[in-house]
């Protein structure tokens, strides 16, 4: 029986980590080990692991970010397969079993991911009513569709893979060199793009994980760089538009996707009062899509709002 090492990066996650660990243990004997990487927390994260799940392996490092934490977790993991879960998210029972079954049916795939549901809550656990509603919607595969197979062309249009749903061969992770620690945002998108060049990706059209959306999970700082755009542009420079199976992404759609990353960058900087950075983002977006109404509006807002009086 295949067993899985579960890697959980945790930074000041004491409030949510108990529920996350419980959702892993609910997967049953498929979990070979749980590796929690405490990324320099200043709260009781380490104590929660020791008290709530003493069988979990706790690894501690000075704060270095989620990419470095996941890399460290995989480096000490012993399983042939690794699965990632963030410390404030949850898996639903049966998630690992469903992925292993899907991988057995697609023997050339070395990575599997699933659909997920957004859970907007500060509560420790979803309510029974919320879970019952999700259960009724979960069987509608059309609602949770996503690309499977050689998905590089689809990934050029946006990240279709969420890290807390991923299970992959540990050997594949090491072959890829892990997450790029120089990327503060988009390190996951970068890894899935690189993985999509050497393995088919098996997608399960059912929500097996819950993304916890809450106020503290949102960043309000101005984006210092367009990390997502850098990742996408790097992939295009390295591999172009064509996937390993010969399928080619629509170049116009890719330009629109690249423009969206610059618009996100511009909007974030506008909200933070960074007019010059907003203007730069708009100009870069317009280089990809010159007739973008949103880009022109953002550019005008940055000029009007921050023009000298």
244-306 in CATH: which number? Answer: 1.20.58
CA–CA separation, 102 and 203 (whole Å) = 8
Hey, where are the domains in the chain? 4-217, 244-306
The reported pLDDT for the residue numbered 229 is: 97
The reported pLDDT for the residue numbered 290 is: 97
For the entire predicted model, the pTM comes to 0.93
> Residue 18 burial (CB < 10 Å; 0-12/13-18/19+)?
middle
The reported pLDDT for the residue numbered 3 is: 86
**Domain 4-217, classified CATH 3.90.550.10, yes or no:** yes
Instruction: Give the residues of the chain that fall short of pLDDT 50.
Output: 218-219, 307-309
The reported pLDDT for the residue numbered 123 is: 87
Contact 256, 288 (CB under 8 A): yes
CA–CA separation, 91 and 66 (whole Å) = 19
Q: Which long-range contacts (CB under 8 A, 24 or more apart) does 129-133 make?
A: none
């Amino acid at each position: 029986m295949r067993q899985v090492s579960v890697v959980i990066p945790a930074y000041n996650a004491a409030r949510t980590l108990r529920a996350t660990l419980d959702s892993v243990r609910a997967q049953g004997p498929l979990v070979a080990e749980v590796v929690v990487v405490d990324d320099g927390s200043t709260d009781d994260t380490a104590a929660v692991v020791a008290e709530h799940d003493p069988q979990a392996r706790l690894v501690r490092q000075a704060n270095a970010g989620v990419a470095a934490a996941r890399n460290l977790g995989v480096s000490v993991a012993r399983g042939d397969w690794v699965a990632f879960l963030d410390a404030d998210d949850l898996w639903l029972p049966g998630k690992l079993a469903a992925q292993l079954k899907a991988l057995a049916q697609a023997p050339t795939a070395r990575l599997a991911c699933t659909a997920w549901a957004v859970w907007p809550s500060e509560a420790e656990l979803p309510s029974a009513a919320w879970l019952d509603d999700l259960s009724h919607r979960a069987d509608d595969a059309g609602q949770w569709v996503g690309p499977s197979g050689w998905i590089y062309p689809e990934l050029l249009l946006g990240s279709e893979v969420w890290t807390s749903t991923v299970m992959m061969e540990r050997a594949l992770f090491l072959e890829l060199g892990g997450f790029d620690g120089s990327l503060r945002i988009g390190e996951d998108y970068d890894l899935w793009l690189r993985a999509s060049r050497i393995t088919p990706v098996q997608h399960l059209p059912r929500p097996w994980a819950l993304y916890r959306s809450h106020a503290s999970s949102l960043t309000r700082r101005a984006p210092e760089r367009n990390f997502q755009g850098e990742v996408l542009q790097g992939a295009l420079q390295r591999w172009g538009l064509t996937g390993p199976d010969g399928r080619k992404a629509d170049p116009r759609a890719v330009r629109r996707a690249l423009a969206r990353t610059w618009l996100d960058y511009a909007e974030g900087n506008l909200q933070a009062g960074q007019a010059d950075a907003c203007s730069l983002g708009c100009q870069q977006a317009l280089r990809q899509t010159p007739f973008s109404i949103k880009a022109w509006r953002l550019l005008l807002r940055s000029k009007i709002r921050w023009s000298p009086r």
